[in-house]
A and B are shown apart, each in its own frame.
Chain A
């Protein structure tokens, strides 16, 4: 386990969000090309071949950005400890998952661990928060992020780590509402939000 480096890396990612509170979520090579030149300090890879990820991560690093990989969504890689080790070997800076066990594996590998909190209903929020408490990620991402202002009272008092908001954040006004509520950044595939708002 390499916790000090993970803490430093997490501080780096949070620092980038403080400079510009948006992560570029990409699902295609075209989106990746656009994201490489944007203002975001981190690129979130939601769709890709996880087995061929190293060149993608290299391009992201060459652009001066951090690579955040979604373990549950990329193809070819299982959401288990070996899958996490593979993504670490590909150079990923941070890994996202909804699964607490995978999040613990990410931490054990010394990468930044981001746990998704899926807000479907009250019970899912409660179970998700309990899972976060057990897994102790560096950062939590709440989905759908657009509803954060409506569920902040349920979520924020129970979190002790920085919060991202992703999902259906499509314009600057929505992003500002979410940030004003307490998120440190939004993650979005809306290119218009990747540069200025």
Chain B
């Protein structure tokens, strides 16, 4: 799908860019990380072994990976994943025990759904991956303040203007679709 563009220093110790592993054959730009989602477990392991870059994984979209503590331990300790994204609050809360940053994946489709997701959010140190990423710029300032940081805008951000809008709205990072250099450089 895309790569994760972050503001410098917004995700301490992590690279500024994560490239999607779905883009087969795409090279990982220097200094970038890799965002793995919508893959099988076997492909996840293969891709992670081939790339010597920081990894982020959308756990819920990996076929063959159970949503449990063993999966978190495997991702963090065996594969060295730096960021785990999941819709499950209990799993997101587990990840920091394995020295791994985690983001609760919040589907922001209507105000009721957002309220429910935030009510279940574990809070610090778990951050927020807000989907679709386009929504971050649409939320009110009060709603954005309620999103536990760091906040990553994840999904359907397809151009520099949308990326910039998300960053201006306080995103620590933005997952951007495609590999166009204009997206990366603005």
* Given A147-B135, A150-B134, A151-B156, A123 and B1 contact (CB-CB distance below 8 Å): yes
Min CB–CB distance B122 → chain A (angstroms): 21
Q: Is the CB of B111 within 8 A of A168?
A: yes
Q: Is the CB of A122 within 8 A of B177?
A: yes
* Given A118-B109, A119-B156, A189-B111, A147 and B138 contact (CB-CB distance below 8 Å): yes
Min CB–CB distance A157 → chain B (angstroms): 16
Q: Is the CB of B132 within 8 A of A121?
A: yes
9 A-B pairs with least C-beta separation? A121-B155, A167-B110, A143-B109, A120-B131, A147-B134, A144-B109, A146-B138, A167-B109, A150-B134
Report the nearest B residue to A27, measured CB to CB.
B112
| A135 beta carbon closer than 8 Å to chain B | no
By a beta-carbon cutoff of 8 Å, the part of chain B in contact with chain A is 1, 38, 61, 107-112, 131-132, 134-135, 138-139, 154-156, 158, 162, 177
Q: Is the CB of A46 within 8 A of B135?
A: no
A124 to B1, CA, bound (A): 11
Min CB–CB distance B12 → chain A (angstroms): 26
Residues of the B chain whose Cβ atoms lie less than 8 Å from the Cβ of A144:
108-110, 132, 135, 138
Inter-chain residue pair count (beta carbon < 8 A): 61
Residues of the B chain whose Cβ atoms lie less than 8 Å from the Cβ of A150:
134, 156, 158, 162
Residues of the B chain whose Cβ atoms lie less than 8 Å from the Cβ of A146:
135, 138
| A166 beta carbon closer than 8 Å to chain B | yes
A77 to B38, CA, bound (A): 32
Q: Is the CB of A120 within 8 A of B138?
A: no
A144 to B132, CA, bound (A): 8
Report the nearest A residue to B105, measured CB to CB.
A120
Q: Is the CB of B132 within 8 A of A119?
A: yes
Residues of the A chain whose Cβ atoms lie less than 8 Å from the Cβ of B154:
121
| A125 beta carbon closer than 8 Å to chain B | yes
* Given A147-B134, A168-B138, A120 and B110 contact (CB-CB distance below 8 Å): no
Q: A122-B1, A143-B110, A150-B134 are in contact. List 4 more A-B contacts (CB 8 A).
A: A120-B132, A121-B131, A147-B138, A168-B139
A168 to B134, CA, bound (A): 12
Residues of the A chain whose Cβ atoms lie less than 8 Å from the Cβ of B108:
144, 168
A121 to B109, CA, bound (A): 11
8 contacts between A and B (CB under 8 A): A27-B112, A47-B112, A120-B131, A123-B1, A123-B38, A123-B61, A150-B156, A168-B110
Min CB–CB distance B139 → chain A (angstroms): 8
Residues of the A chain whose Cβ atoms lie less than 8 Å from the Cβ of B135:
144, 146-147, 168
Min CB–CB distance B83 → chain A (angstroms): 16
Residues of the A chain whose Cβ atoms lie less than 8 Å from the Cβ of B61:
123
Residues of the B chain whose Cβ atoms lie less than 8 Å from the Cβ of A189:
111
Residues of the A chain whose Cβ atoms lie less than 8 Å from the Cβ of B134:
147, 150-151
Report the nearest A residue to B133, measured CB to CB.
A121
Q: Is the CB of A120 within 8 A of B107?
A: yes
A121 to B135, CA, bound (A): 11
Q: Is the CB of B109 within 8 A of A122?
A: no
Partner of A122, one of B111, B112, B156, B162: B156
A119 to B156, CA, bound (A): 8
Min CB–CB distance A69 → chain B (angstroms): 16
A119 to B162, CA, bound (A): 16
Mask, A4-20, CB within 8 Å of B = 1, is 00000000000000000
Residues of the B chain whose Cβ atoms lie less than 8 Å from the Cβ of A46:
112
A189 to B134, CA, bound (A): 21
A120 to B112, CA, bound (A): 16
